[in-house]
Amino acid sequence: MQMLSLKASGGQDQTPKAQVESSSSIPMVVLKVFFPSCCSSAESGLLVGHWIPEQNSAVILAVVHFPFIPVQVKQYLSEVRQVTQVNVSVLGTWSNCKKKEESLSEFLEDLGTIFSHEPWIQLCKETDSKFWSCSIIQKHPSTPKEDEIILVYYDQRKVMLSHLHPPGNLTNSTDHKAEDASKLAILFDTVAKSKVLFMKDRYDDGPIKLTHWQSEGVEASIIVELMKQASIPVCMLLTFLLSFVSSVCKSRVLKFWPLSFIWSKLSTCEQLGHRLEHLQVISSNRKAQNQPQLMRKANIFVSLLADVALGILLMSWLYRKNRIGHLADTLIPAADHVAKELQDLLQWLMGVPAGLKMNRALDQVLGRFFLYHIHLWISYIHLMSPFIEMILWYVGLSACLGLTVALSILSDIIALLTFHIYCFYVYGARLYCLKIYGLSSLWRLFRGKKWNVLRQRVDSCSYDLDQLFIGTLLFTILLFLLPTTALYYLVFTLLRLLVVVVQGLIHLLVDLIDSLPLYSILLRLCRSYRLAAGVKFRVLEQKTGKPLRLLMQINPLSYGSVVQTYRLPTYSCYPKDSWGSLCKKLFLGELIYPWKHKGEKQD
Partner 1 sequence: MEERGDRTALQCRQYSASCREFSVRCQPVQLRSLSAATCSVWLAAYWLFVLTQNSMVLSTAIFITLIGLIVYLHFVKIDQESLLVIASLGIQMTSSYASGKENTTFIEMSRVKDVVINEAICMQKVIYYLCILLRDPLDPQSVSEVVPLFQVTSHQDAKSEGYPLKGHQLTYLLMFGTNK
Residues that bind partner 1 (CB under 8 A): 1-11, 13-15, 17-21, 23-24, 26-27, 30, 32, 55-56, 148, 150, 152, 168, 170, 173, 175-176, 180, 182-184, 534-537, 539, 542, 548, 550, 555
In this complex, which beta carbon is closest to partner 1, that of residue 100 or of residue 145? 145
Query: Which residues lie across from 46 on neighbouring strands?
Result: 64, 93
CB 165 within 8 A of CB 48: no
In this complex, which beta carbon is closest to partner 1, that of residue 36 or of residue 367? 36
In this complex, which beta carbon is closest to partner 1, that of residue 428 or of residue 547? 547
Nearest to 211 by CA among 69, 64, 91, 34: 64
In this complex, which beta carbon is closest to partner 1, that of residue 164 or of residue 592? 164
Closest separation between CB of residue 143 and partner 1, Å? 14
Closest separation between CB of residue 563 and partner 1, Å? 18
Closest separation between CB of residue 588 and partner 1, Å? 45
Contacting residues for 82 by C-beta, under 8 A, at least 6 apart: none
In this complex, which beta carbon is closest to partner 1, that of residue 10 or of residue 67? 10
**How far apart, in whole angstroms, are the C-alpha atoms of residue 214 and residue 197?**
10
Contacting residues for 253 by C-beta, under 8 A, at least 6 apart: none
In this complex, which beta carbon is closest to partner 1, that of residue 15 or of residue 82? 15
- The sign of the dihedral angle between the CA atoms of 489, 490, 495, 499 is positive
**How far apart, in whole angstroms, are the C-alpha atoms of residue 482 and residue 260?**
39
CA distances (Å), origin 286, targets 289, 294, 364, 448: 8, 11, 67, 71
In this complex, which beta carbon is closest to partner 1, that of residue 25 or of residue 285? 25
Closest separation between CB of residue 260 and partner 1, Å? 47
In this complex, which beta carbon is closest to partner 1, that of residue 159 or of residue 513? 159
Closest separation between CB of residue 149 and partner 1, Å? 10
In this complex, which beta carbon is closest to partner 1, that of residue 471 or of residue 534? 534
Closest separation between CB of residue 575 and partner 1, Å? 32
In this complex, which beta carbon is closest to partner 1, that of residue 4 or of residue 224? 4
DSSP conformational letter for 87: -
Closest separation between CB of residue 165 and partner 1, Å? 13
CB 350 within 8 A of CB 367: yes
In this complex, which beta carbon is closest to partner 1, that of residue 19 or of residue 127? 19
Nearest to 463 by CA among 442, 436, 477: 442
Closest separation between CB of residue 272 and partner 1, Å? 41
Reported for 322-327, long-range contacts at CB under 8 A and 24+ positions apart, including other chains, are 324/389, 324/392, 324/393, 324/396, 325/389, 327/392
What is the DSSP code string of 278-316? HHHHHT-SSPP-SHHHHHHHHHHHHHHHHHHHHHHHHHH
In this complex, which beta carbon is closest to partner 1, that of residue 185 or of residue 414? 185
In this complex, which beta carbon is closest to partner 1, that of residue 190 or of residue 299? 190
Closest separation between CB of residue 125 and partner 1, Å? 19
Nearest to 424 by CA among 361, 369, 379, 378: 369
Rounded (5°) CA angle 11-13-17:
100
Contacting residues for 131 by C-beta, under 8 A, at least 6 apart: 541, 543, 546, 549
Contacting residues for 440 by C-beta, under 8 A, at least 6 apart: none
**How far apart, in whole angstroms, are the C-alpha atoms of residue 350 and residue 165?**
65
Closest separation between CB of residue 9 and partner 1, Å? 8
Closest separation between CB of residue 58 and partner 1, Å? 14
Closest separation between CB of residue 147 and partner 1, Å? 11
**How far apart, in whole angstroms, are the C-alpha atoms of residue 469 and residue 76?**
103
Closest separation between CB of residue 548 and partner 1, Å? 4
Helix H or strand E encompassing 158: helix 156-161
CB 597 within 8 A of CB 571: yes
Furthest-apart CA atoms within the chain: distance in Å:
123
Closest separation between CB of residue 529 and partner 1, Å? 14
- The sign of the dihedral angle between the CA atoms of 182, 185, 186, 187 is positive
In this complex, which beta carbon is closest to partner 1, that of residue 97 or of residue 184? 184
Whether the bond into 119 is cis, omega within 30 of 0: yes
- Number of Cβ within a 10 Å radius of residue 108: 20
